[in-house]
Structures are given as C-alpha cells and as structure tokens.
C-alpha cells in the first residue's frame, strides 16, 4: 500500500513552472521531494557544483598530506620544508579557487 495516496493538482503559468523547475534542478531533489520540503518548511540548499566538490576533495587530500608531513617531522625531529611549502602553496591556490567558485 502506498504511503502517499493523495495527490494535489496545481495550475501554474509557464513562468511559474519555469521558476519551479529551475529551483528543483538547482536543489538536486525531485519535484515531489522539493515541494514536500517546502510544505514542511525545511531549508532547501542548492546542490554543490561539481567544481566545488572537486575543489573540496583536493583540499582534503592536501590537508591529509600536510598532516602526514607534520607527523613525520615530529617523529624524526625535523621537517621536509620543500614538500611542506609545496603543499602549503597548493592549499592556498585551492582555497583561492574555492572562494572564486563560491562567490564568483
């Protein structure tokens, strides 16, 4: 048996439908899930762009590398400054790209 067995017909202008479809597409939800979220007054956020996801993944990889370098440096009582600076520069570059993606 269906959990949702009631339907609602809503008539929209083409402009209203276009607006709704644009919001649905940007959210990554189905139309039904989007409308249910509105009914329940849930916060609907835009789905992150692929560029943002890729940037965040790269930032995580660099962060992991830097943590490994720091651990190794502490264990051996020294630090590989060239590798550390290279990773730090990459991190700064990616942070700039992330801000550009987020704020245009």
**Rounded CA gap, 51 and 94, in Å?**
11
Q: Where are the domains of the chain?
A: 1-47, 50-103
| Residue 32: per-residue pLDDT | 94
Whether the pLDDT of residue 104 is over 70: the answer is: no
| Residue 103: per-residue pLDDT | 64
Segment (H or E) for 100 = helix 81-103
Q: Could you read off the pLDDT of 22-65 as tens digits, one per residue? A: 999 998 899 999 999 999 999 888 877 788 878 888 888 888 88
| Residue 102: per-residue pLDDT | 67
As a whole number, mean pLDDT of residues 79-98 equals 81
Whether the pLDDT of residue 5 is over 80: the answer is: yes
Total-model pTM: 0.53
Greater pLDDT, 69 or 15: 15
Greatest mean pLDDT range, 6-10, 42-46, 70-74, 98-102: 6-10
- CA of 69: how far to CAs of 26, 62, 81, 104, in Å? 39, 11, 9, 33
Tokens of 25: 């597409």
């Amino acid at each position: 048996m269906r959990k949702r067995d009631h339907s609602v017909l809503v008539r929209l202008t083409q402009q209203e439908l276009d607006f709704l479809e644009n919001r649905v597409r940007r959210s990554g939800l189905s139309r039904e899930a989007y409308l249910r979220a509105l009914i329940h007054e849930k916060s609907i956020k835009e789905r992150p762009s692929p560029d943002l996801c890729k940037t965040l993944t790269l930032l995580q990889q660099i962060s992991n590398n830097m943590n490994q370098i720091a651990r190794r440096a502490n264990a051996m009582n020294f630090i590989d400054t060239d590798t550390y600076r290279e990773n730090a520069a990459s991190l700064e570059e990616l942070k700039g790209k992330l801000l550009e993606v987020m704020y245009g």
